[in-house]
Amino acid sequence: MKHPIPPAHWPTAEVAASSRLFSPVRLGPLEVNSRTWVPAMVPWRASEEGQVTNALLDWYGRLAEGRPGVLVVEATGIRDVPSGPLLRIGHERFEEGLARLIEVVAERSGGETRLMIQLIDFLAIRRRPERDKYFARFLKVESAHRARLGELRGMEFEGDEADLRADLAALAEDDLACVLSPREIEDLERGSRERVTDTHLEHIADLPTSLPPLFAAAAERARRVGFDGVELHYAHAYTMASFLSRLNDRQDGYGDSLEGRLRLPLEVLAAVRRAVGPDFCVGCRFLGDEIIAGGSRISDACAHGEAFARAGMDFLSISVGGKFEDARQPRVGAAAYPYTGPSGAACMPTVLESERAPFGRNLHLARAIRERVRAAGCNTPVVGAGGLNDFDLAEAALLEGDCDIVAAARQSLADPDWWRKMHLGRGAEIARCKYTNYCEALDQKHSQVTCQLWDREFGLADKGQSEAQRTDDGKRRLTPPPWVQSP
């Protein structure tokens, strides 16, 4: 292991009671008991139809037992289109399951945890094709291909479409680069992926018209079923983050300049606010740095934060990276995964690969955004995340002005009770995350996400786990073992 996990200092119950971490905070209209936050994590437990399942209820119920101030439900699709086992909210048939989820979290947190849901839109992405199939079926052959192949060979190409496809498939890599466009090469080598800049496609050109009502309807549904707030997903590799990105050079007023790139995210917020009213909590998650070449940096993010705060976001949750642009090439038959390149490593930093240790390493971004928001006269709370795993680190981040709320994803996955253990002065009983991303590798395969500690340190058999509480392959616990409190 490259970076050791620093020893933790846990507070006594008295110290915790008077700490900033366990003091209340207001997110616009929403009063929250403490500055502790479990950010969105997709556990791959929704049904193929996007419905809440019993396994999903167990997942959120178990996270709620740690009584974080806020628990954010995973990225949830706002459209009513098949999306595999991604949780969805784009139709009234999802309401019953989501209402049950809210009940379970209220029950198991003793009413202490406020529950938000992260609302996501994403564009189409295809798996990396087999080379033969790409040339036989997927490539849209045009007269330009014919012309470029002719140029390459110094004689006009005279065959029919089938000949052209066969000849292209037989070209060496260097020659292929002369005949296919960079985008076509990318489609072949990584699988095709829509971008917000593909304005030649009608549904992409129309996103500024189609998205505000979709987000508004989803937020209104979230409010109606009983969530305490919504988090608009403006981060990572998805549609809204791509509008915010410096790579967005749309020429229709929704890109190309800072104002243009901010326009749709602000219009979505306005539509959501009209739908839910002023007394419902609406915030967003966005990137402090995209990390990718040509992408937005912290100076852009500060401007985004100021614009969102002025426009009435009730909180700003800061993440980093997680982009497709620098993702590793997927194997044939798999889709690119946006957490495999340098930007992914920045998003979920590990102790293994990065030059810097993961612990609190993205806080400087939250701090810069917070300073800019405060300088603009807004008190909007800022949520910091990234390797936050210890009381002293969390408390220092709050007292020194890095952020107003501390979010911990993987530490809360490793031991959901860690917040409560800290609060009760029982820090010595906390199981500490190893930050080696076993969980994230499962996410990458769209397998049910679990933590290595649940099995390796606790064992399956000894805690009476039934078959139903194991993963589909029967090998892993689906939820962390219960906290058996010593007297």
Ligand X SMILES: Cc1cc2nc3c(=O)[nH]c(=O)nc-3n(C[C@H](O)[C@H](O)[C@H](O)COP(=O)(O)O)c2cc1C
Residues that bind ligand X (CB under 6 A): 39-42, 74-75, 118, 235, 285, 319, 347-348, 385-388, 408-411, 439-440, 443, 449
Q: Is 433 in the site for ligand SF4 (CB under 6 A)?
A: yes
439 binds ligand SF4 (CB under 6 A): yes
Q: How far is CA 82 from CA 45, 78, 90, 95, in A?
A: 16, 11, 11, 17
Residues 163, 301: Cα–Cα separation, whole Å: 50
Q: Which does 386 bind (CB under 5 to 8 A by kind): ligand SF4, ligand X, none?
A: ligand X
Q: Which is nearer to ligand SF4, 75 or 409 (CB)?
A: 409
13, 53, 97, 121, 237 from 88: Cα distances, Å: 40, 12, 10, 11, 18
| Residue from the set 297, 364, 371, 438 that interacts with ligand SF4 by CB under 6 A | 438
- By CB under 6 A, residue 437 contacts ligand SF4: yes
> Is position 38 an interface residue for ligand SF4 (rule: CB under 6 A)?
no
Residues 6+ apart with CB under 8 A from 3: 351, 357, 358, 359
> Could you tell me which of 57, 100, 69, 11 has the C-alpha nearest to residue 317?
69
Alpha-carbon distance of 40 to 414, in angstroms, equals: 15
Q: Applying CB under 6 A, which of residues 435, 465, 470, 477 lies at the interface with ligand SF4?
A: 435
Nearer to ligand SF4, 63 or 302 (CB): 63
d(CA 431, CA 433): 7
Under the criterion CB under 6 A, does residue 41 sit at the interface with ligand SF4? no
402/363 Cα distance (integer angstroms): 6
What the block records as the tokens of 52 is: 């809440």
d(CA 200, CA 85): 30
Nearer to ligand X, 310 or 361 (CB): 361
| Residue 430 within binding range of ligand SF4, rule CB under 6 A | no
What CA–CA distance (Å, rounded) separates 420 from 320?
A: 27
State which residue, 102 or 348, has the beta carbon closest to ligand X: 348
Q: Pick the piece of the chain touching ligand SF4 (CB under 6 A) from 67-75, 122-130, 133-141, 447-455.
A: 447-455
**Do 216 and 272 meet the contact criterion of CB atoms below 8 Å apart?**
yes
Residue 291 near ligand SF4 by CB under 6 A: no
Residue 272: CB minimum distance to ligand SF4, A? 32
Q: Which is nearer to ligand SF4, 269 or 453 (CB)?
A: 453
Binder of residue 391, out of ligand X, ligand SF4, none (CB less than 5 to 8 A by kind): none
Q: Is 212 in contact with 266 (CB distance < 8 Å)?
A: no
Question: 73 is in the binding site of which of ligand SF4, ligand X, none (Cβ under 5 to 8 A by kind)?
Answer: none
CA nearest 238: which of 303, 183, 177, 194? 194
Which residue, 354 or 436, is less far from ligand SF4 as judged by CB?
436
- The SS3 call for residue 20 is coil
Q: Which residue, 351 or 363, has its beta carbon nearer to ligand SF4?
A: 351
Does 385 sit near ligand SF4 (CB under 6 A)?
no
- 197 vs 319, which CB is nearer to ligand X? 319
Q: How many chain residues are in contact with ligand SF4, going by CB under 6 A? A: 13
Confirm or reject binding of residue 296 to ligand SF4 (CB under 6 A): no
Pairing of strands 382-384, 316-319: parallel
Which positions lie near ligand SF4, rule CB under 6 A? 410, 413-414, 433-439, 451-453
